[in-house]
Structures are given as structure tokens and as C-alpha cells.
């Protein structure tokens, strides 16, 4: 008992000493902790709306409980399967096409030896990330305009008939994915460029001595060196399979393209904000979050077994 007591006392002394030495750093953490508590954890209480027939006039406490009725209504909706399918397909194609491109871009930039040229290309590729989604959508709409859009002007120059891309459901996914790849690829590549910088240069020197070419160095050193980063980013991306950027979709879609453009988040927007069905919209959002958590947990477990790399 005396040993346990002395150990606890020494631990308290260490904690107090650590706090005294680093008290400024701990004080600097307070605003961030407060922000998380107020804006991320406190709003979780509002998830109970998913189990209520919520009314703005009755308030949270006055609205009656309905159990899982909102979830049943959501899943029986004629728009449920369509929005779930569109969400999954948009995310899957974005993952399939958009995930490798930042890696390829980082690998290409890593091979550039001219510093100013490398910096220029890197700056040009990640700048679109900082442009508002509204501006990006406006650029896309203008480029694809049926009468005076640049794409249709080029089509007409080649003697083909102009196409009104934004009312054709079959073009929506291609437009959305291409736009997001252009907007986010350069910024996403920064993580992989940083990972490439952490690889020991002596490994490359040893490979050159052994007669390895660029392809052999890529396969044997570069890709294994950034593999943990790729796996972690992939796990996080899988967790967002049902979290498609609805702001951009809302800016681009219209009733003519609902067949391929209507996703879970736009359904939540129409039901909750426009239709006033707050309980139904919250239930749909909670369903989305539960599926995302399941995907992250499953991907993390598989990754830990296969590659011994995981988030936790």
C-alpha cells in the first residue's frame, strides 16, 4: 500500500511540475477545447430530434417522441434507394479516380529537380482548393453553357452539335468528379509530398550503387516509404463514402438530373430546410453518420490485419 501511495504522489508531482513548466501551452489549448465542446459535442444532443416529431413551435421539449418512425419513413421513401445509390456511386468513382491522382502528382513532382519549376507547378495545382465552391461551380456552368460555353464552342468548331451538359443525367457524375479532382488534387498531394520528404536519401543512394533505375527505386523504396500515409488517407476517405459535398451538387444539379445527382445530403437539405421535416432530415443524417462510422471501423480493422497500419 505504501508503494502505491508513493507512486501516486510522485505521479501527481510530475503532473504538477509538467503543468507549471508548460502552463502557457495548456492555456493556449483552452480555446480549441472550448470550440470542440461548443460546436461539435454540444450539438450532438440535437440528434434526439431524429426520434421526435419535431416542431419549431413546440420546441425540443414539447415535441412528442416517435421512436424509429422517422427512420422507417426515410427508408420507405421512394427517394431513399436513389439517393443512397447516387451517393455511393459518386463517392466510389471519386475514390477510384480522385484518390490516386494526388499520389501520382506527388510522385511526379518528387522527380523534378528544378526548384522554381517544381514550386510553380505545386502552387498552381493547390490554389484551386482555396477558391469558393460557388465560384468553382460558376466557372463550370460558364464553361459548359449551351450557347457560348467554351466546351460547346470547341464542339461546334469540330462540326458536332452543341450539348446542354447540365441537364443530361448521364454527364453529371463526370462533371462533378472532374471538377473536384481539379479543385482538390494539388492540395491533397501536399501530404504525400511531405511523406516523400521523410524517406531516407541514403536508401536511394544505395539503390543507385546497386544499379537500380527510377522504376525500381519507385517500386522498392518510394511506394513502400509512403504506404502508411496512403493507407491512413484511404481509411479516412472510405469513412466519407456517404459524405459527398452537397454544396457543389446543389449548385450544379436541377430536377432534370435528379436521376444521377440527387444524393443523401441533398435529400436531407430538401426535407429539412425546404420541407420543414426536421425529424426526418435528422434521422437521415444520423443514418449517414452511422454508416460512415461502420465503414471507417471496418476499413481500419481490415488494414490492421493486412498491413499492420491503422488509425487506432
pLDDT of residue 101: 93
Low-confidence ranges of the chain (pLDDT < 50): 1, 3, 7
What pTM did the predictor assign? Answer: 0.78
Residues in the chain: 312
Nearest to 240 by CA among 87, 136, 131: 87
β-pair partners for 65: 52
In terms of Cα–Cα distance, which of 257, 280, 248 is closest to 267? 280
- Judge whether 238 and 296 are in contact, CB under 8 Å: yes
Neighbours of 252 (CB within 10 A): 21
SS3 content of the chain, % helix, strand, coil (to 5): 80, 0, 20
Task: State the helix-helix crossing angle for 80-93 and 69-76, rounded to 10 degrees.
Answer: 80
Give me the residues paired with residue 52 across strands.
65
State the pLDDT at residue 104: 92
Which cell is 262 given?
440527387
| 200 contacts: CB under 8 Å, gap ≥ 6 | none
Q: Residue 3's pLDDT is what?
A: 47
Residue 174 in grid coordinates: 463526370
Amino acid at each position: 500500500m505504501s508503494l502505491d501511495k508513493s507512486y501516486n504522489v510522485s505521479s501527481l508531482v510530475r503532473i504538477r511540475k509538467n503543468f507549471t513548466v508548460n502552463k502557457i501551452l495548456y492555456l493556449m489549448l483552452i480555446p480549441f477545447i472550448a470550440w470542440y465542446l461548443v460546436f461539435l459535442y454540444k450539438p450532438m444532443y440535437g440528434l434526439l430530434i431524429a426520434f421526435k416529431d419535431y416542431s419549431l413551435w413546440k420546441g425540443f421539449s414539447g415535441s412528442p417522441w416517435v421512436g424509429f418512425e422517422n427512420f422507417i419513413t426515410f427508408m420507405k421513401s421512394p427517394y431513399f434507394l436513389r439517393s443512397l445509390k447516387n451517393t455511393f456511386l459518386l463517392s466510389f468513382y471519386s475514390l477510384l479516380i480522385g484518390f490516386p491522382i494526388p499520389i501520382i502528382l506527388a510522385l511526379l513532382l518528387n522527380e523534378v529537380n528544378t526548384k522554381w519549376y517544381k514550386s510553380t507547378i505545386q502552387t498552381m495545382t493547390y490554389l484551386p482548393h482555396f477558391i469558393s465552391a460557388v465560384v468553382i461551380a460558376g466557372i463550370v456552368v460558364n464553361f459548359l453553357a449551351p450557347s457560348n460555353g467554351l466546351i460547346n464552342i470547341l464542339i461546334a468548331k469540330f462540326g458536332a452539335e452543341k450539348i446542354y451538359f447540365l441537364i443530361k443525367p448521364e454527364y453529371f457524375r463526370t462533371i462533378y468528379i472532374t471538377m473536384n479532382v481539379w479543385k482538390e488534387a494539388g492540395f491533397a498531394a501536399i501530404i504525400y509530398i511531405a511523406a516523400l520528404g521523410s524517406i531516407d536519401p541514403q536508401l536511394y543512394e544505395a539503390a543507385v550503387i546497386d544499379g537500380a533505375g527510377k522504376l525500381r527505386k519507385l517500386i522498392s523504396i518510394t511506394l513502400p516509404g509512403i504506404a502508411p500515409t496512403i493507407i491512413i488517407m484511404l481509411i479516412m476517405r472510405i469513412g466519407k463514402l456517404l459524405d459527398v459535398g452537397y454544396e457543389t451538387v446543389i449548385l450544379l444539379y436541377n430536377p432534370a438530373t435528379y436521376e444521377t445527382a440527387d444524393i443523401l445530403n441533398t435529400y436531407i437539405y430538401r426535407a429539412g430546410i425546404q420541407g420543414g421535416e426536421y425529424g426526418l432530415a435528422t434521422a437521415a443524417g444520423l443514418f449517414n453518420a452511422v454508416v460512415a462510422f461502420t465503414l471507417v471501423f471496418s476499413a481500419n480493422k481490415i488494414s490492421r490485419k493486412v498491413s499492420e497500419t491503422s488509425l487506432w
